[in-house]
Structure 1
Amino acid sequence: MRQNPSFALADIAEMRRVIARNPWATIMSAAEDGLVASHYVVMLDEDRDDLTVVGHVGRPDDAIHGMGERELLVVFQGPHGYVSPGWYDAETPSVPTWNYTAVHLAGVPEVLSTEENLRVLDRLVEAFESRMPDPRGMWERPNDEAFVRRLEAGTVGFRLTPTRVVAKRKLSQNKDAATVENVIAHLEGDGAYANPALAAEMRRAQDARVRPNA
C-alpha cells in the first residue's frame, strides 16, 4: 500500500480497534507459482497488547501459503466508500475519491499446536456466537469432543507477530473542516452513497484532529 504522510495511521490502539472491529481479513503470500490469497477471520491475540494476531486456515490453504515458512501479508479493511466532488466547495476544482481505513500486517507466522488452535477456534466461536439470543458454543451438544477434534484437524492455526506494519486512514484529512463536515453530512444522509459507518470513522478522525490530546 502506497503511504502518504498525511494519511498515515501510526497509533497502535487505533490499529487494534480497526482489527477488532473488522476481523474478516485477506491473507496473501507469494507462492512458487505466483501470488495467492485467502479470506478468513483473524483476531487480535488476547494475551498480547501489540499487533499480534491469531487465526486459522483450512487445509490445504496452509500448504498453498507455506504456513510457517514464508511471509504472509494480512490485510484488514475498515469502513470505506465513495466521496463525490459535489460534496466539496462548488468553486474548487475536484474529482471523486474513495475514503477508507486499512491495516497491513506482514511477517512469518508461527504455526499453533493442536491445543493452541483449539483455544483459538473456541474463542472465535465465542466471540461471534455470544451475540446470539441462544448461543451455541463449540463444545456444546450436539457437538462432542470427537467432532470438535475432527474439525480442528482440518485447520491449521497460526500466530503472526508482524515485522512490517503499514496502516492508512484516508478520511479527507487534507480538506478543511467545513468540507469534512459536509462530506460527513452526506454520508449520514439518505443519498445514493450514504454510509453511516464511514461517516462515524470520519467523525472519529476529525475529533482526534480537533482534540489531539484528548
Structure 2
Amino acid sequence: MYIPPAFRIEDERIMFALMRSYDFALVMVPGEADPAATHIPLKLDDERRRLIGHVAMANPIADHIRAGRQALAVFTGPHAYVSPTWYGEPNENVPTWNYMAVHVEGQFVPLEGENAERSLSSQIADFESVWRITDIEVGKRARLEAAIQAFELEITSLKGKAKLSQNKSAEDRRRLAEALMERGENALAHKMMEGVS
C-alpha cells in the first residue's frame, strides 16, 4: 500500500480499533495467478495478534489455509468523495477520496475439531446475544462444521493509512468535514476533525 508520510498510521491501537469497527475484510493469497480473494468477517484477538475467521470448504482459499500460506487481509474504514468546491480556494484543489485502511499480512493457521468450534463460538458471540452453535443438534452441527475451514491469521505485519486531508489547512479540514456531515458521512468527518484545533 502506498502511504505518504503524512497519511501513515503509526499507532497500532488506532489500526486495531479500525479492524474491530470495520471487521468485514478482503482476504487474499498474494503471488498466485488466482489470489483466491474472498470477503469475510474477521474477529481480532489483539492480545494474541491474530485474526479469526472461517470460509466454506469449497472456497479455493481453504486449500491455502490448510497449507499454512501467507495471506493479506485488507480492512477498509470510512471513506468518501471530496469535492474541490468544498475548499476555501476551489480552483486550487482537485477532486479526491478520503479514507482509512489497514493491511494485515500474516500466516494462516488452520483450526480443526474443538479449536475450530471454539473459534466459531467466539465469532458468533460477537453478533448473537442468545443463539449459540451448540443449539444445533450434534450430528447436524458436525456435518455443518465439516463444510467449513476455520482459521487464525497470525499477524506478522500491519500497515495503516488515514488519508484525511492532513496536508490541508485546519480551516479547509473543517469545511470538508462539514460538507461530509451534510452528506451523512459522519464517521469520516469525525476522524478528519480529530486533532484539528
1:199 aligns with 2:192: no
CA displacement, residues 163-184 of structure 1 (integer Å, 9 cap, x when unaligned): 2221101111111111111111
Paired residues for 1:2-151 under 5 Å: 2-30=2-30, 32-45=32-45, 48-49=46-47, 51-61=49-59, 66-67=64-65, 68-90=67-89, 93-130=92-129, 135-140=130-135, 143-151=136-144
Once residues 124 and 201 of structure 1 are traced to their aligned partners in structure 2, the CA distance between those partners, rounded to angstroms, is 27
On the 8 A contact 2:9/2:160 being kept in 1, the answer is yes
2:173 counterpart residue number = 180
Q: Counterpart of 1:159 in 2: which secondary structure?
A: strand
Once residues 88 and 63 of structure 1 are traced to their aligned partners in structure 2, the CA distance between those partners, rounded to angstroms, is 44
Once residues 73 and 22 of structure 1 are traced to their aligned partners in structure 2, the CA distance between those partners, rounded to angstroms, is 16
Change (3 A) 1:147 1:64: closer
Identity %: 33
Unaligned runs of 5+ in 1: none
Counting helix residues as a fraction of each chain, which structure ranks higher? Answer: 2
Single out whichever of 53-62 and 6-15 deviates more from structure 2.
53-62
1:166 counterpart residue number = 159
Q: TM-score, normalised by structure 1?
A: 0.83
Once residues 138 and 31 of structure 1 are traced to their aligned partners in structure 2, the CA distance between those partners, rounded to angstroms, is 36
Once residues 154 and 115 of structure 1 are traced to their aligned partners in structure 2, the CA distance between those partners, rounded to angstroms, is 15
Q: Counterpart of 1:162 in 2: which secondary structure?
A: strand
Unaligned runs of 5+ in 2: none
On the 8 A contact 1:29/1:65 being kept in 2, the answer is no
Single out whichever of 50-59 and 175-184 deviates more from structure 2.
50-59
Once residues 159 and 74 of structure 1 are traced to their aligned partners in structure 2, the CA distance between those partners, rounded to angstroms, is 12
On the 8 A contact 1:81/1:98 being kept in 2, the answer is yes
On the 8 A contact 1:106/1:164 being kept in 2, the answer is yes
Once residues 74 and 52 of structure 1 are traced to their aligned partners in structure 2, the CA distance between those partners, rounded to angstroms, is 11
On the 8 A contact 1:42/1:54 being kept in 2, the answer is yes
